[in-house]
Amino acid sequence: MTLTDILLVIGCLVSLAGAGIVLFASNPTRSLLGLFLTSVSVGVIYLLLGGAFVAMAQIIVYAGAVLMLFLFVVRYFVKRLPRSRIRWQLGAGIVVVVILFLQVLIPLLGWFSKGRFVEEYIPPDPGLLGKTIFEQYVYPFELVSILLLVAIVGAIYMARGESQSDDGGAGQ
């Protein structure tokens, strides 16, 4: 077991602990901190798997931008958020989750136990990643940019819905 393997196992355990905090914490802020733990440790796993650029994107976008947005919203509504206690759906939910777990596990078990990592693996540098994006995946890249544009328009529309009704449609 090399040092990389040990660090990978530690990253897996920490990310699972964060997921457990998300699931079992009754305070939404604690759930958020658990999600932060998971995001950062998954970023560390990416780094160890040889995806430096993806790891940086994960840390910056997830742990930076997305979780900050979550933090603002959670703290904004913190007085009115209910303690999200688990009700009668617990039994049905656990059954569904276990069935889903087995459904995914059984087909993949063979690949999990037989699959091997590439032996002489050269971690791709960001240049190769960019080359692949802009040579083979240009159309998906453009589609994603259009999707981001649509998301911006939608977010702005929802944010200004209140003032539009205030001025009696004069803003149209």
Partner 1 sequence: MIFVLGITAMLLFVFGMAGVLLKRNPLVMFMSIELMLNAVNLGLMIISRASGHVDAQVLTIFLITIAAAEVAVGLGIIVTLFSDRDDVDVDNINLLKG
- Binders of partner 1 among residues 7 to 36 (CB under 8 A) are 8-9, 12, 15-16, 19-20, 22-23, 28, 31-32, 35
Q: How many residues bind partner 1 (CB under 8 A)?
A: 84
Q: Does 85 bind partner 1 (CB under 8 A)?
A: yes
Instruction: Kindly list the distances between the CA atom of residue 85 and the CA atoms of 27, 70, 89, 90, 94, in Å, as whole numbers in the listed order.
Output: 10, 20, 11, 10, 15
Residue from 58, 11, 17, 18 nearest 34 by CA: 18
**Whether the Cβ atoms of residue 70 and residue 31 lie closer than 8 Å to each other:** no
- Binders of partner 1 among residues 114 to 133 (CB under 8 A) are 115-118, 121, 124, 128-129, 132-133
CA dihedral (42, 47, 48, 49) in degrees, to 10, reads 90
Q: Does 164 bind partner 1 (CB under 8 A)?
A: no
Residue in 3, 44, 77, 164 binding partner 1, rule: CB under 8 A: 77
Q: Does 90 bind partner 1 (CB under 8 A)?
A: yes
CB 89 to partner 1: min, Å: 6
